[in-house]
Structure 1
Amino acid sequence: MYPTRPRSSLRTAVVWEVLRSALERRAKELGRPVLDVLDTGGGTGNFAVPVARLGHRVTVVDPSPDALFALERRAAESGVTDLVRGLQGDTQTLADLVEPASVDAVLCHGVLEVVDDPAEALGQLTAGLRKGGVVSLLAANRNGAVLARAIAGHFAEARAMLDTTAGAPSTTGPSATATDAPTAAAWGGPPPRRFSVEELRALADAAGLRVASVHGVRIFADLVPGVLVDTEPGAVEALLALELAAAEQPAFHAVATQLHLLAELR
């Protein structure tokens, strides 16, 4: 089961497979089938609702009331209203919304790119985790964005992005994760950032997290012309299989649109 439709599942399949397996393992470790999950910046429930359909309780914190309204509607359509709760807020108000050490897993997808201070934000998120809790961290990859800009013929933008210092805000337009986190801009803060694997690892370590795995996301999906995927029989499935196979290979991380880190609280 993927959280989105077949064509768009190319954008989320890797993260979903890793997340689903991690939640299953954590539930077995704790000896209980239902986990408490926090989805920060979860917007309309692209991941929250599928996680709830697995039987887990999900709290979505997002600054956009429109997104939370759409989340409520989506949860109702999927029959998981009793498992999904939406709260308006951001990482700076998270301590007022979520009790310390009260959740088993945190989803942080497309959030670090737009907050004022990624390190502080990640620290706020992990404060809500129980020991051994799982963090699914998804962020835009600077190297992949450089490649995408260059292929599109925007060479000056690619060069400017290449020269961006570690963790600094980008000055070349929207985040590469904008379509996956439609409410990300509502979080405010500086222009979208992009990260390397090393930078994300450093942030995770500073927040007291142990990185269990790193995956490249949308390695090929954003580079292959849509007409090839939409018109060739079986192309979606074949490209999806390729994405899943390459995701764990470090050699491909540099060209991925996004980077996904699965970590746990030490």
Structure 2
Amino acid sequence: MARQLEEQIAGRFPIGRRLRVLDVGMGRGTQALRLARAGHEVTGVEQDATLIAAAREALAAEPEGIRERMRIVRGDGRDTGVHFLPGSFDVVLCHGVLMHVAEPDPLLAGLARVMAPGGLLSLLVRNGDALALRPGLSGDWAGALAAFDTTVYRDGLGLDVRADRLSALTGTLAGIGAPLHAWFGVRVFTDTVPPDAAPPDDLAALLAAEERAGRTDPYRGVAALLHLCGVRGGAAAG
């Protein structure tokens, strides 16, 4: 996903330009720190105190120049209008957040509002069109059959959360003035791998295969996650 994001940023903005980045639901700050290290001004928004502490600890270990380029705001992403002015950011990230929001449209509209014209919106969502794949590959036939008719699933923490369908999000992005520009699959081959599994010896080959599948039909359509990129005021993808 980081490679996909870098590709989209490089294709939209001049090389060397310092971008204003908002990362909503930044978690431990992995993507935020990556972009701060690349020279951008990054604002991370997170509501979980434990994750904020982890992000602050990681930031404290960075050189002063990087620490100065990143700030952390406590919030849940639905109050962007309170914290930020319209057009404040060139790039807005919202990764792994929509599945925890019962009604995502207001959140997405708020994110579009704080994007500058031509700005990039990066979303990472659970793929609502492929929910039957994981239980099916695990031999849970009842679970696979049930998953065809729902967009609700149980996450790794045992919580019932929500998935999004590509067609619905495409319409939503068009409606908020940030039409879909590009989309990718994430975790095509590796979704059933246990989260605590050790990295394989051939990790580079695994990542290359995942990246290739994530941009190739029909594989990307059955990925566990979808990475969608919209452009504020842009034209929809063909």
Q: 1:248 aligns with which of 208, 212, 215?
A: 215
Deviates more, 1:212-221 or 1:74-83: 74-83
Q: 1:124 to 1:239 in 2, by over 3 A?
A: same
Q: 1:151 aligns with which of 123, 128, 137?
A: 137
Paired residues of 2:187 and 2:224 also in contact (CA < 8 A): yes
The CA RMSD over aligned residues, in Å, is: 2.3
Q: Equivalent residue for 2:31?
A: 47
Q: Give, in angstroms, the shift of residue 223 of structure 1.
A: 4.3
Identity of aligned residues (%): 30
Q: Equivalent residue for 1:188?
A: none
Q: Give, in angstroms, the shift of residue 263 of structure 1.
A: 1.4
Is 1:193 equivalent to 2:162 in the alignment? yes
Q: 1:43 to 1:227 in 2, by over 3 A?
A: closer
Structure 1 counterpart of 2:132, one-letter code: V
Is 1:98 equivalent to 2:84 in the alignment? yes
Query: Matches of 2:25 and 2:55 in 1, distance apart?
Result: 12
Q: Give, in angstroms, the shift of residue 55 of structure 1.
A: 0.5
Residue segments in structure 2 that go unaligned for 5+ positions in a row: 234-238
Structure 1 counterpart of 2:182, one-letter code: S
Q: 1:88 to 1:230 in 2, by over 3 A?
A: closer
TM (normalized to structure 2)? 0.88
Query: Matches of 2:67 and 2:194 in 1, distance apart?
Result: 38
Q: Give, in angstroms, the shift of residue 228 of structure 1.
A: 10
Paired residues of 1:119 and 1:206 also in contact (CA < 8 A): no
TM (normalized to structure 1)? 0.79
Structure 1 counterpart of 2:142, one-letter code: A
Q: 1:253 to 1:115 in 2, by over 3 A?
A: same
Is 1:69 equivalent to 2:43 in the alignment? no
Is 1:135 equivalent to 2:116 in the alignment? no
- Deviating beyond 4 angstroms after TM superposition, the runs of 4 or more aligned structure 1 residues are 223-231
Q: Which protein, 1 or 2, shows the higher relative CO under an 8 Å CA cutoff with sep ≥ 6? A: 1
Query: Matches of 1:173 and 1:118 in 2, distance apart?
Result: 18
Q: 1:75 to 1:228 in 2, by over 3 A?
A: closer
Q: Give, in angstroms, the shift of residue 107 of structure 1.
A: 0.3
Q: Equivalent residue for 2:154?
A: 173
Query: Matches of 2:196 and 2:54 in 1, distance apart?
Result: 30
